Amino acid sequence: MNKRILTATFLAVFSIAFLIPAFATDAQAADKLGWIGPVYKELSDSLMKGFKEYYKKTYNKDVDITFVHPGGWPVCVDKLRAWGDKPDADVFLGAGAPAHEVLKKEGRVIPYKPKDWNMIPAEWNGMKVKDETGAWTCFSPWIVTNLYNEKVLKALKLPPPKTWKELQNPIYRGNIVQTLPYASGTVHEVVEILLQGFGDKEGWAMNRMLAAQLARFSTGSTDTSQLVSRGEVPIGIAVPQFTAMTARRDGYPVRDLLPDKTTLVPESVALLKNAPNEAVGKIFLDWLFSIEGQKYVLEGGYFPGRTDIKFSVWEKEGVAMAKHAKEALGVDTFWDLKVGFIQYNLDFATKRWDEVNRYYEYEIYRKWGELKSSLFLIEEVEGEINAAKATKMNVKKAEDKIKEARKLFEYDGNYAAARLAATKARSLLVSK
């Protein structure tokens, strides 16, 4: 009897042990989706929440989402390059047109036109908003702006700088922050704006002059926004337009400022070639461009990209961020904005993508200390020449030499030669 009970008990335990993994696997089974991109955490959290709810409701299944966020646009592009032909994600989420054009050119994305693809314009004010083949599509448009803290600027008795040249005024020195173009696609776009808006020589000169104005280099655009919002540095260069909207919502006294030369950033999304979960990736893209998905874009602090939405309607429907978006833009939909852009050459920007990032890092960022000391010496000698001129001294030779120093610094980026020329200009004053 005992032997029979023991055998039955053993068989029962064995059967349960055998069945538990099957039941557990069935209960835990979930589809998978991977993102890689530079979008801010508030947006990724919002999209994750919204899509998981949609997927459960539509397919009666859970979906596990992995988000790889290595850094800004260029860092994300390099991460994809490192993965080669076997990406560890399905969707490239975020970044503007140049980054997506690089990925398209390198064959890292495949065409896919999501449902409601026609609700996104093909171009706006001369800027491409989506790829005609469906290789990438804008889900959130915004404009490259600068950010300033109203309270701190007022305390410093400084007017908000309205142009790129005004930002070079020494009165703002030490009161500006930005990051590297490699760390932030927005800064990369600013470098391109200056190069394309003023010409290469003048554009690089302006980048050098702006670098000399900085209090510090930040770790990224998020860090720039936070430093300005907290008032640690009053002016931030190259900040996404929507940043001011979310900062003001959170109670910070900040404003965005459209500089005299700027461009549109079509924050876009793409399906990766050899995506391990391509089918789920397509479902996500279809949802992202739906009305529901676009609401989650706005709730994540980004402007929605569809042309058929109205903030006033969404506000009545209880979309909390709709009110803030309307106040930030001053219009009922992003596409109603009346702004002017530079003639942005996307093909040119794509071709020199890596070159621009590399040149800035090696010739400006890594030589930042030398850059500043060179300019400050030139300015000191210029002041001395002006003082000598006021005493009726003949300063013609000194003036010619200091102009040479300026050229060597601004246009040639030859800091050592610029310092030598400035020193010679000073000696010409002493020898009089």
- What is the domain partition of the chain in residue ranges? 31-140+265-336, 141-264+346-361, 367-430
Confidence of residue 343 (pLDDT cuts 50, 70, 90): very high
* 338-364 mean pLDDT: 95
Query: 271: exposed, middle or buried (C-beta count within 10 Å: 0-12, 13-18, 19+)?
Result: buried
Task: For the beta carbon of residue 421, count every other beta carbon within 10 angstroms.
Answer: 24
* 306-322 mean pLDDT: 97
Confidence of residue 122 (pLDDT cuts 50, 70, 90): very high
Nearest to 117 by CA among 314, 332, 295, 308: 308
Tokens, residue 14: 């064995």
Contacts of 150 by beta carbon, 8 Å cutoff, 6+ apart = 253, 254, 255
Tokens, residue 169: 């005024």
Confidence of residue 19 (pLDDT cuts 50, 70, 90): very low
Query: From CA 78, how far away is CA 206, in angstroms rounded?
Result: 27
| Residues 297, 46 contacting (CB under 8 angstroms) | yes
pLDDT(3) > 50: no
* 201-225 mean pLDDT: 97
Torsion of CA 291, 297, 301, 302, to 10 degrees: -90
Nearest to 209 by CA among 158, 259, 148, 164: 164
φ, ψ at 59 (rounded to 5°): -115, 0
Q: In the predicted model, what is the mean pLDDT of the chain?
A: 93
DSSP-derived secondary structure letter, 130: B
Regarding the domain delimited by 141-264+346-361, which CATH topology (the fold level of the hierarchy) does it fall under? D-Maltodextrin-Binding Protein; domain 2 (3.40.190)
Helix (H), strand (E), coil (C) string for 378-403: HHHHHHHHHHHHHCCCCCHHHHHHHH
Q: What is the pLDDT of residue 431?
A: 66
* 18-33 mean pLDDT: 60
Torsion of CA 81, 358, 104, 305, to 10 degrees: 110
Q: What are the beta bridge partners of residue 146?
A: 257
Candidates 3.40.190.10, 3.10.20.740, 3.40.50.720, 1.10.357.10; correct CATH number of 31-140+265-336?
3.40.190.10
Tokens, residue 415: 């800091």
Confidence of residue 28 (pLDDT cuts 50, 70, 90): low
Rounded to whole angstroms, what are the CA distances from 67 to 32, 76, 93, 185, 268? 11, 12, 9, 19, 16
* pLDDT tens per residue across span 260-307: 999 999 999 999 999 999 999 999 999 999 999 999 999 999 999 999
φ, ψ at 394 (rounded to 5°): -85, 105
Query: From CA 186, how far away is CA 99, in angstroms rounded?
Result: 11
DSSP class per residue in 24-90: HHHHH--EEEEEE----HHHHHHHHHHHHHHHHHHHSS-EEEEEE--SSHHHHHHHHHHHTTS-S-S
pLDDT(198) > 70: yes
Query: From CA 413, how far away is CA 423, in angstroms rounded?
Result: 17
Q: What is the pLDDT of residue 432?
A: 55
Q: What is the pLDDT of residue 17?
A: 43
User: What is the share, in percent, of the chain residues with pLDDT greater than 90?
Assistant: 91
Position with higher pLDDT, 23 vs 145? 145
| Residues 178, 235 contacting (CB under 8 angstroms) | no
Tokens, residue 39: 């979008």
Tokens, residue 8: 């039955």
User: Which SS3 state, helix, strand or coil, does residue 11 take?
Assistant: helix
φ, ψ at 62 (rounded to 5°): -85, 160
| Residues 240, 77 contacting (CB under 8 angstroms) | no
Confidence of residue 339 (pLDDT cuts 50, 70, 90): confident
This prediction's pTM = 0.90
* 385-414 mean pLDDT: 96
pLDDT(170) > 60: yes
Element (H, E) at 144: strand 137-149
Task: For the beta carbon of residue 217, count every other beta carbon within 10 angstroms.
Answer: 17
Q: What is the pLDDT of residue 6?
A: 40
Task: For the beta carbon of residue 400, count every other beta carbon within 10 angstroms.
Answer: 12
Same fold, 31-140+265-336 and 141-264+346-361: yes
Q: What is the pLDDT of residue 29?
A: 84
